[in-house]
């Protein structure tokens, strides 16, 4: 296969979305077990800050001595070497942190806090199966003598949640569900257990049980999502859009007050994703004036305006949002995409400045690069646009508009084969079409 054709095939694969790639951030979930420092629990931030600076400067031995002094008489604290490793990890010294932990495991391989630290590290590095294996050994681990019974039980619970969530990440839904059910039988169900049960019941095809689990969660957590809204988002993440639409509408119909507003906003987002800006606008019209003025709702209104080629309206909203939220990457990103549609040269030049600044500030975010690539294309810099858009695809996923951008770039470069391939990818990809009114057959410069 010729190198260029291989590159095109690799890029096209990025537009074949699966359920995991299309997950929306608001799907009901609790954060994975994170490697948080013990200082937050110990309430010793003032004492620890100088030690944090020592670690940042690489003064590990001095930090080790200082940590040992702070925690030598602290009940329920992890081993001081774990605290040191956590600090090193948080300061970006990952290899040093791992060496500290490995050295500690050689001396105390069966300590409960050592098992927790290694399983947390595996989760942070997305080594789901390793996390599961380490956490599963926690039941037989040795509890530190300075821990009381309640703290030891809480750590065991955290290890159980790591096992369950690592199963979720591996899509082992039945096993994850069994772990959550066993945890619920052992003691009063916690929020993370109920949320996990809701997700697992859903993925195991037990939607009614999923709703019930989310209802129980709502009894425990006052500000938890409306149950049917959680299920709607799970259907959306799974790509089952008809079922998602059904449950979004149920959530809107059954809820009231703030719950209804949140359901309407989520439904509007769903409609935008599925290229129904007119339905999204009607959902937003049902909101109170206070809710309509919220940043997220105003942002959605800007997206709707852009989808309908009402660039002046979109610009007005986005400029107002930027004034109140000057560091928001999504707001600046959308503003750049609106300004490049202007016939005013100064507006187009400003669009480029915004996009370039966004890529510098958020270099790991693919969306900033794809926006810059599109702006470069609109300014006639086709070769540069091609390289920038290729860079944006390094994340492995791409929304519909990126396929459109690449189709237009290759059309401009005279590579009709690649242009047609990306045009087809654009037509089958998921996500909103911001260029629905664009003539795909002509160059837009």
Does residue 240 have a pLDDT over 60? yes
**pLDDT band at residue 395, thresholds of 50, 70 and 90?**
low
29: pLDDT strictly greater than 60: no
- Average pLDDT in the chain: 87
What is the per-residue pLDDT across 414-432, written as a single tens digit (0 to 9) for each?
999 999 999 998 888 888 8
- Give the Cα separation of 284 and 282 in Å (integer): 5
What percent of the chain lies above the pLDDT cut of 90?
70
| Residues forming beta bridges with residue 111, ordered by sequence position | 142
**Residue 64, token pair as written in the block:** 């080790």
Q: For residue 287, name the pLDDT band (cuts at 50, 70, 90).
A: very high
Average pLDDT of the segment spanning 50-78: 87
pLDDT band at 154 (very low <50, low <70, confident <90, very high): very high
* Residue 34, pLDDT score: 52
pLDDT of residue 413 exceeding 70, the answer is yes
pLDDT of residue 242: 96
**pLDDT class of 45 with cuts at 50, 70, 90:** low
pLDDT at residue 431, rounded to an integer: 83
* Helix, strand, or coil (residue 302): helix
Residue 10: pLDDT band by 50, 70, 90 thresholds?
Answer: very low
Q: How far is CA 419 from CA 376, 435, 442, in A?
A: 17, 16, 12
**277-285 and 257-273 are packed helices; what angle lies between their axes, rounded to 10 degrees?**
170
Task: Please give the pLDDT value at position 30.
Answer: 42
Residue-level pLDDT at 213:
97
Look at 192-196, 232-236, 325-329, 434-438 and tell me which has the smallest mean pLDDT. Answer: 434-438
Over residues 283-291, the mean pLDDT reads 93
For the chain, which domains are there? 31-170 (1.25.40)
Does residue 243 surpass a pLDDT of 90? yes
> Out of 22-26, 130-134, 289-293, which region has the weakest mean confidence (pLDDT)?
22-26
Q: What angle do CA 195, 200, 206 make, to 5 degrees?
A: 110
**DSSP readout, 122-138?**
HHHTT-HHHHHHHHHTG
pLDDT digits (tens, 9 = 90+) for 256-280: 999 999 999 999 999 999 999 999 9
> What's the pLDDT band for 398 if we cut at 50, 70, 90?
low
How many Cα neighbours within 13 Å face the side chain of 186?
A: 13
Q: Is the pTM of this model over 0.85?
A: no
Q: What pLDDT score does 47 carry?
A: 73
């Amino acid at each position: 296969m010729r190198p260029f054709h291989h590159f095109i095939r690799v890029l096209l694969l990025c537009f074949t979305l699966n359920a995991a790639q299309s997950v929306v951030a608001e799907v009901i979930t609790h954060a994975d077990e994170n490697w948080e420092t013990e200082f937050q629990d110990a309430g010793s931030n003032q004492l620890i800050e100088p030690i944090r600076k020592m670690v940042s400067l690489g003064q590990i031995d001095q930090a080790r001595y200082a940590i040992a002094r702070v925690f030598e008489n602290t009940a329920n604290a992890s081993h001081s070497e774990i605290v040191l490793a956590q600090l090193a990890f948080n300061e970006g010294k990952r290899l040093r942190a791992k060496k500290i932990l490995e050295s500690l495991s050689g001396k105390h391989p069966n300590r409960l806090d050592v098992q927790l630290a290694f399983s947390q590290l595996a989760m942070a590095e997305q080594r789901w199966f390793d996390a599961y294996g380490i956490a599963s050994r926690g039941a037989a681990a040795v509890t530190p003598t300075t821990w009381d019974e309640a703290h030891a039980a809480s750590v065991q619970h955290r290890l159980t949640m790591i096992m369950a969530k690592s199963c979720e990440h591996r899509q082992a839904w039945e096993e994850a569900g069994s772990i959550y059910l066993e945890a619920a039988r052992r003691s009063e169900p916690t929020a993370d257990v109920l949320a996990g049960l809701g997700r697992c019941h859903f993925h195991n095809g037990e939607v009614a049980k999923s709703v019930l689990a989310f209802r129980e969660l709502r009894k425990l957590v006052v500000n938890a999502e409306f149950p049917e809204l959680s299920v709607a988002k799970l259907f959306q993440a799974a790509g089952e859009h008809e079922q998602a639409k059904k449950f979004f509408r149920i959530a809107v119909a059954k809820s009231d007050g703030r719950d209804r507003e949140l359901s309407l906003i989520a439904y509007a987002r769903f409609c935008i994703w599925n290229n129904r800006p007119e339905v999204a606008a009607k959902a937003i019209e049902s909101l109170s004036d206070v809710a309509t003025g919220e940043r997220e709702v105003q942002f959605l209104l800007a997206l709707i305006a852009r989808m309908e080629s009402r660039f002046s309206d979109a610009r007005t909203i986005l400029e107002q949002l930027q004034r109140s939220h000057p560091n928001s990457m999504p707001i600046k990103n959308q503003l750049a995409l609106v300004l490049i549609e202007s016939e005013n040269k100064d507006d187009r030049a400003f669009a480029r400045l915004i996009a370039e600044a966004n890529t510098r500030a958020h270099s790991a975010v693919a969306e900033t690069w794809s926006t810059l690539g599109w702006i470069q294309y609109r300014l006639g810099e086709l070769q540069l646009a091609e390289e920038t858009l290729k860079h944006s695809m390094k994340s492995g996923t791409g929304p519909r508009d990126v396929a459109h951008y690449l189709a237009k770039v290759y059309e401009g470069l005279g590579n009709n084969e690649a242009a047609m391939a990306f045009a087809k990818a654009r037509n089958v990809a998921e996500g909103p079409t911001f260029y629905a009114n664009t003539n795909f057959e002509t160059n837009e410069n």
